[in-house]
Every structure is written in structure tokens, then in C-alpha cells.
Amino acid sequence: MLFKFSYSIPVELLKECQERFKSGEEKTDGLKVIGRWHEVGKNQGFMLAEADDIMAVGAFTNQWSDLCNMFKTGSCREKSNVRSGLSAHI
């Protein structure tokens, strides 16, 4: 399943959060990170990852809970045959 992890960083914790991220200590065990997008000029962004284990999803978010506000949303991919089937009815 795909997960979108949206985050925001309180300005007073920004430097500490950046230092932790640069340290390479972040654990993504059980997640296949697809990519990260950071909003320029804002302390927020999101990451997309695939995971089969909800415990891995929780472990990832828990490691940042002291520095970031993080929300996760499960998503599913659109199948191309579903899209072509829908377009036939539109």
C-alpha cells in the first residue's frame, strides 16, 4: 500500500530537525521510499512510500514525533484498466 507522510516543523525545532535528518539516523525499515517533496520557504512537505506492514509505518512516524507534526494517509494506485473503463463512460 502507498502512504503519504505529510509533515510540518515548528520553527523553534527546525535546526534540530535538520541536524537529525542530515545525521542519516532516520530509519525507514519496512518502507520503500518513493520520494520526498519539501516546500520551498516553508517548514513542511511530504514523503511517499510503499509498505506492507503498518507497524513499520508507525515506527517511522514515531521517530519524528518529538520534532515534527506528521500525518499519514494510506492510498492506492489507480489501475490503468479502471481509468480506460471509466473514460468509456464519460
What average pLDDT does the segment 11-37 reach? 93
* pLDDT score for 36: 94
What average pLDDT does the segment 77-89 reach? 57
Instruction: Give the mean pLDDT of the chain.
Output: 87
The CA distance from 56 to 25, in Å, is 16
pLDDT class of 89 with cuts at 50, 70, 90:
very low
- pLDDT tens-digit map of 41-74: 899 999 999 999 999 999 999 999 999 999 999 9
Neighbour tally for 49: CB within 10 Å: 21
Neighbour tally for 31: CB within 10 Å: 20
**Helix H or strand E segment including 49:** strand 44-50
What average pLDDT does the segment 24-29 reach? 90
